[in-house]
Amino acid sequence: AILEKAEMVSNAKMERSTKSFNFAAYHDLETLYSFMDTLVASHPNLITKVHIGNSYENRPMYALKFSTGGVSRPAIWVDAGIHSREWVTQASAAWIANQIASNYGVDPSVTSLLGQMDIYLMIVTNPDGYVFTHTNNRMWRKTRSVNSGSSCRGVDPNRNWDAGFGGPGASKDPCSESYHGPYANSEVEVKNVVDLIMGHGNFKSFISIHSYSQLLMYPYGYTCTDIPDKSELHSVGTAAIKELTSLYNTIYQVGSICKIIYQASGGSIDWTYNIGIKYSFAFELRDTGYYGFLLPANQIIPTAEETWLGLKYIMEYVCNHPY
């Protein structure tokens, strides 16, 4: 513990600007939030910080909006860290945010993409949980809401969406890691995202980033029935994974949530698909169980780099296939 604290203090000192931000390390919430501010300050014409609401414990929730103008342009949503123990996701999202910012004006496809569409990137989707993984329990997954009538806290934020809510693949036990909560959108963290998506009205893609297992998945989780767009999403996913694998030979599998990992109800990408956001995907990043959630920091950048290739493919596809 002493070694970790020293590490955190020295990381914080180093991260006064994005140039010195150490992407190859795990950071606490404060450091990630200050990174966001630095990134926005260095790219004022591209990025704004959107305060989408507060968490249960009243922490601000921020999404980075990448936009070159327009009014309510078609947009792509990417979130990381909805499950707080999946640390490689928040860390990768920070790297990806920086990558998008640096690539704009340099990389033709990113530049063209941002000429037509906006990107919303939420680096820490569950800030209360993330803080708890630093202060108390590295394996914390859920939110930190108080469950009435139980000494167990927290709801699984990816069982709390209004899609097959309360069905198989979620627990009604508040002490369970996959507790769905008292009702859909009971968790303010989920409600804030739902409100933003609904209020915006023009999202064309929704991508949620998790770890671990090395999978790229599409709906549904709440049922194993195929979605009408299965064929298209499966081939987009397959092509995206080909890009991802090309970098370091990391093997991913593609399939619907229900078939490839488990039946799970109340998941975010099921809800987004059902409200018409066709290109809804979920990633499970490295690894396949060797380190699991405790992925060594020296794998953050390789993970982020390969994930970015997959993500970029999906984004380009979305842009080229307006609907």
Partner 1 sequence: MLCAHWSRLRRVSSRSCCATALRSTHSSTRLSSSPERIMKTFCSVWLLLSVVELSPAQEPPLPETAEDMASTGDLEPTHYPARRAAQVALHYLNTRHGSPFRVFGLQQVHKASAEDVEAGGRKYKLDFSVTDWASGSAGPALRCSADVLFPRTERHSAPDVKLRCEALQQINRTVQEEEAFYQKHIPPDSAVSARDIPDSYGNMSEEMQPFWRLARVAASFIMLRESSENTEFNMVQMASVTQQESSEEQLMLEFVVLLHDLPSQEIVQWKLLASWSPDRGVRVLQTEWQPRCPHATKPPN
- The residues carrying an active-site annotation are 284
40 vs 156, beta carbon nearer partner 1 = 156
CA distance 20 to 165: 44
Stretch that binds partner 1, among 45-53, 59-67, 96-104, 220-228 (CB under 8 A): 220-228
**Residue 40: both structure tokens together:** 């926005």
36 vs 163, beta carbon nearer partner 1 = 163
* Of the residues 124, 241, 295, 311, which one makes contact with partner 1 according to CB under 8 A: 295
Q: Per-residue DSSP letters for 176-222?
A: STTB--SSTT-SHHHHHHHHHHHHH--EEEEEEEEESS-EEEES-SS
**Residue 312: both structure tokens together:** 């970029």
54 vs 68, beta carbon nearer partner 1 = 68
For partner 1, the binding residues in 159-198 under the rule CB under 8 A are: 163-164, 167-169, 171, 175-178
46 vs 258, beta carbon nearer partner 1 = 258
| 296 contributes a contact to partner 1 by CB under 8 A | yes
**Residue 91: both structure tokens together:** 């860390």
* Of the residues 49, 102, 253, 301, which one makes contact with partner 1 according to CB under 8 A: 253
Stretch that binds partner 1, among 97-105, 120-128, 185-193, 286-294 (CB under 8 A): 286-294
* Of the residues 43, 59, 141, 278, which one makes contact with partner 1 according to CB under 8 A: 141
CA distance 109 to 264: 35
Q: How far apart are CB 51 and partner 1 at their closest, in Å?
A: 26
* Of the residues 103, 116, 186, 238, which one makes contact with partner 1 according to CB under 8 A: 116
Q: Per-residue DSSP letters for 235-271?
A: HHHHHHHHHHHHHH----EEEEHHHHT---SS-HHHH
127 vs 169, beta carbon nearer partner 1 = 169
What does each C-alpha distance from 307 to 88, 89, 101, 137, 204 come to in angstroms?
A: 11, 10, 16, 27, 20
Query: Residue 259 CB: number of other CB atoms within 10 A?
Result: 13
Helix (H) or strand (E) holding 319: helix 300-320
| 6 contributes a contact to partner 1 by CB under 8 A | no
54 vs 263, beta carbon nearer partner 1 = 263
* Of the residues 7, 14, 105, 198, which one makes contact with partner 1 according to CB under 8 A: 7
53 vs 182, beta carbon nearer partner 1 = 182
* Of the residues 153, 180, 278, 312, which one makes contact with partner 1 according to CB under 8 A: 153
Q: How far apart are CB 285 and partner 1 at their closest, in Å?
A: 13
CA distance 267 to 164: 8
Residue 65, φ and ψ in degrees, nearest 5: -105, 120
| Cβ atoms of residues 157 and 143 within 8 Å | yes
| 152 contributes a contact to partner 1 by CB under 8 A | yes
| Cβ atoms of residues 214 and 307 within 8 Å | no
| 249 contributes a contact to partner 1 by CB under 8 A | yes
| 16 contributes a contact to partner 1 by CB under 8 A | no
Q: For the purposes of burial, counting CB atoms within 10 Å of the CB of 260, is it exposed (0-12), middle (13-18) or buried (19 or more)?
A: middle
For partner 1, the binding residues in 18-57 under the rule CB under 8 A are: 25-26
| Cβ atoms of residues 65 and 202 within 8 Å | no
Residues found near partner 1 in the complex (CB under 8 A): 3-4, 7, 25-26, 71, 87, 112-113, 115-116, 133-134, 136-139, 141, 150-153, 156, 163-164, 167-169, 171, 175-178, 213, 220, 222-225, 228, 249, 251, 253-255, 258-263, 265, 274, 287-297, 299, 316, 319-320, 322-323
